[in-house]
Amino acid sequence: MPVTRERGQRQVFCGLAGIVWLHRKMQDAFFLVVGSRTCAHLLQSAAGVMVFAEPRFATAILQDRDLAGLADCNEELDRVVTELLARRPDIGTLFLVASCPSEVIKLDLDTAAERLAASQQGRVQILAYSGSGLDTTFTQGEDTCLTALVPRMPELPAAERSLLVLGTLPDIVEDQFARLFAEIGIAPVHFLPPRKAAELPPVGPGTLLLAAQPFVGETAAALAKRGATLIEAPYPFGIEGSRAWFAAAAAAWGLPAERVEAAIAAPVARAERGLANYREQLAGKRISFLPDSQLEIPLGRFLSRECGMQLTEVGVPYLDRRMMAAELELLPAGLRLTEGQDLERQLDRLRQDRPDLTVCGLGLANPLEAEGLTTKWSIELVFSPVHGFDQAADLAELFARPLNRRQRLAF
């Protein structure tokens, strides 16, 4: 499939946003962003944390003296971390998260993490990763975080094998997947990230790697260097993607397809009934994806093949063919597929196409609504439980909802 590569002005959301779902998943972890007041405001508003709550993230704010080189940032960071760990003895893993300001002044958080971990004498695991939004899309914050965990993962014994599901999933979805894998006959199954960062799963040559999210390419590469084998499969969005995802895992495990079909029969039936309520609303509607989350290709495949929507344009921030190979084969012929972004040119095409629905970032949604275009926030698709059979109808409803709203508001 031909891909148009664009380079120009981009509209992107910050990689720090990954903390919003990562801190909910890893319940013993704390995320300390080393950044500006803007970083603090972003996290506070994006996470929706109330002022009297005790969140598991915070911002060590760089002041003018830090940015000008008049203060020793490492001394200040040591003081802040020491106070934090004294106040919160429940922290098992502390992530030092680099931001745009800390990277601009070349603050070495990797070295700081090693120094601080040594001072804690093993009581707390301290790691560093970059959540900077200078040259990334917002979901890459999860990828850099998980990549930092890979060197700490224990070695899988040579005679053993396991399945490792890669990418953050809501607990309810993870539990559903674990039950289905058990019914199929695949065990043991581990998830990365785990619910406790201190309880990392093992990895080694016997590890079969199954990605649940398309934006974890660097983590997949790091796991491959430790011996894991990546299973090529579509992502578990909708009935078709979820069926192919489980079937690929079973085939790699050496199990017959009949085992998969028997295990998923009931969830597939429920998903078919749920999707039927939305197919009529979505069929024939035209949709465009602006590049933002890296979910654009698998979601476009789901909407086209299972809901009957017409894909006008699918834009992705970057195209990782290793992670998207199985999805690209399922896209409709003649699709306008773009990588990167030249914002003004893309907006010109969007105004010319006038699709029924545009999936885009937060910064573009309101201006496009003002122009009479119906929009859907792409970040909501990352926050919501949308993977698997039992969430297929919920996923379709997320796209039907703005169309219904537009219809109700029409005069």
Helices (H), 208-256: 217-225, 238-253
Residues flagged as binding site? 14, 39, 100
Indicate if the alpha-carbon torsion angle 353, 355, 359, 361 is positive or negative.
positive
CA distance to 167, 245, 325, 400, per residue, from 252 (Å): 19, 11, 17, 36
Residues flagged as binding site for [4Fe-4S] cluster? 14, 39, 100
User: What's CA 115's distance to the chain center, in Å?
Assistant: 30
Angle at 181 between CA 330 and CA 186, to 5 degrees: 105
Contact 149, 197 (CB under 8 A): yes
SS3 label, residue 220:
helix
Local structure of residue 188 (DSSP, 8 states): -
CA distance to 152, 231, 249, 338, 360, per residue, from 282 (Å): 45, 32, 31, 23, 18
Q: In 3D, which of 130, 41, 122, 36 has the Cα closest to residue 85?
A: 122
